Amino acid sequence: MSAPLARSSSDRILGGVCAGFARSFGISVGLVRLIAVVAACFGSIGFWVYIAAWFLLPLDTTNKSGLDSVVTSLKNTGNSDTQNPTDLR
């Protein structure tokens, strides 16, 4: 492996998963994308593996996974200091 396994932020079409795998294993990104499309078309397991990798692999620039981003945004929505517009006290 030539680079740590992470999603690509620069060479991405959806989540950067295929480009991240290609860079990490030193193979063509086109080949990895082709394998991902074939796996998704001939069985739903390919789709779910891609989604899982999207959420679990960190982004190469921030070192945060998609799941980290979701958890952070959920935490921030509960800590809103804005007043409810229907609350006229």
| Residue 87 is assigned to a structural domain of this protein | no
Average of pLDDT values for 37-53? 89
| Residue 40 is assigned to a structural domain of this protein | yes
Between residues 60 and 83, which one has the greater pLDDT? 60
Pick from 20-34, 51-65, 67-81: least confident: 67-81
Give the pLDDT score at 87: 54
Q: How many domains does the chain have?
A: 1
| Residue 1 is assigned to a structural domain of this protein | no
Backbone CA torsion sign across 61, 66, 72, 76? positive
Average pLDDT, the chain: 83
Per the structure, the complete domain to which residue 49 belongs is given by 17-75
| Residue 83 is assigned to a structural domain of this protein | no
Q: Are 55 and 47 in contact (CB under 8 A)?
A: no
| Local confidence band at 81 (pLDDT 50, 70, 90 cut-offs) | low
| Residue 25 is assigned to a structural domain of this protein | yes
